[in-house]
């Protein structure tokens, strides 16, 4: 089991999920809700994100095979997509600023309101804001690195842990946003964008190395590639 691959998986998933950057979007959709309802929605949102990522982790490779898409081709296409997302984050462009968000409070108990709110914001908040094309690509590419059941199990644990971190951020979103402010949020988002750009370039190098074996210097090829 490659611990470096697991660590890279964790960093990559957290960066692409971008909980700090997506936090204002979540707040925009639940700002009219009671604080208890907001926290309940955050927990349900985290569970939904985990289920979505787990689905693509398990069935992503099968979907590619169904369409006859090779892993090197998907790796190169995915690296470009992740690179574009990372560059956008480095530029400090916020999805929150591009969408007018209006919500209406719903009636009922805490869990009833949370369930109703989740059904309204599952799309587009959980998908595609959190689990979008970049996240799906990242999950599938890391799933391809799972060469045994133990590594696969650990990656599933990483997906769960990543979803828990997202849930914790959303659970405390109002407090975090008040403390960080927009400037602090932008700093975190841009740092995550830089990490994503580096991950994208590594995926690109790996993809070229698989398509053109022996062309690249072995020192620059990811050790997980066979």
pTM of the entire predicted model:
0.72
Give me the helices (H) in 67-172, please: 71-90, 110-121, 133-143, 149-171
Each residue's pLDDT tens digit, 159-218:
999 999 999 999 998 888 788 877 887 787 788 788 878 888 887 887 777 777 655 555
The C-alpha atoms of residue 142 and residue 129 are separated, in whole angstroms, by 20
Each residue's pLDDT tens digit, 58-90:
998 888 888 888 777 777 887 887 788 778 878
Q: pLDDT class for 92, splitting at 50, 70, 90?
A: low
- How many helices (H) and strands (E) would you count in the chain? 8, 0
The C-alpha atoms of residue 59 and residue 36 are separated, in whole angstroms, by 35
pLDDT at 55 exceeding the cut of 90: yes
The C-alpha atoms of residue 63 and residue 19 are separated, in whole angstroms, by 27
The C-alpha atoms of residue 190 and residue 197 are separated, in whole angstroms, by 11
Per-residue pLDDT, 103: 45
Q: pLDDT class for 108, splitting at 50, 70, 90?
A: low
Rg (CA), the chain: 18
The C-alpha atoms of residue 74 and residue 112 are separated, in whole angstroms, by 41
User: Residue 129: which of 90, 168, 101, 148 has the closest Cα?
Assistant: 101
């Amino acid at each position: 089991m490659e611990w470096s691959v697991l660590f890279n998986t964790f960093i990559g998933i957290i960066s692409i999920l971008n909980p700090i950057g997506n936090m204002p979007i979540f707040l925009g959709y639940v700002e009219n809700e009671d604080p208890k309802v907001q926290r309940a929605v955050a927990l349900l949102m985290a569970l939904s994100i985990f289920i979505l990522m787990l689905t693509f982790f398990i069935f992503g490779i099968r979907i590619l095979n169904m369409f006859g898409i090779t892993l090197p081709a998907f790796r190169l296409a995915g690296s470009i997509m992740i690179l574009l997302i990372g560059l956008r984050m480095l530029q400090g462009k916020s999805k929150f600023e591009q969408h007018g968000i209006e919500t209406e409070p719903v009636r009922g108990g805490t869990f009833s309101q949370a369930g109703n709110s989740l059904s309204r914001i599952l799309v587009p908040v959980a998908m595609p804001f959190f689990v979008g094309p970049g996240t799906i690509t990242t999950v599938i590419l890391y799933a391809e690195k799972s060469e045994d059941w133990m590594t696969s199990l650990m990656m599933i644990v990483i997906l769960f842990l990543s979803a828990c971190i997202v849930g914790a951020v959303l659970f405390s979103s109002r407090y975090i946003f008040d403390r960080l402010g927009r400037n602090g949020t932008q700093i975190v988002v841009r740092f995550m964008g830089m990490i994503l750009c580096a991950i994208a370039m590594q995926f690109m190098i790996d993809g070229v190395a698989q398509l053109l074996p022996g062309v690249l210097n072995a020192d620059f090829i990811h050790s997980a590639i066979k």
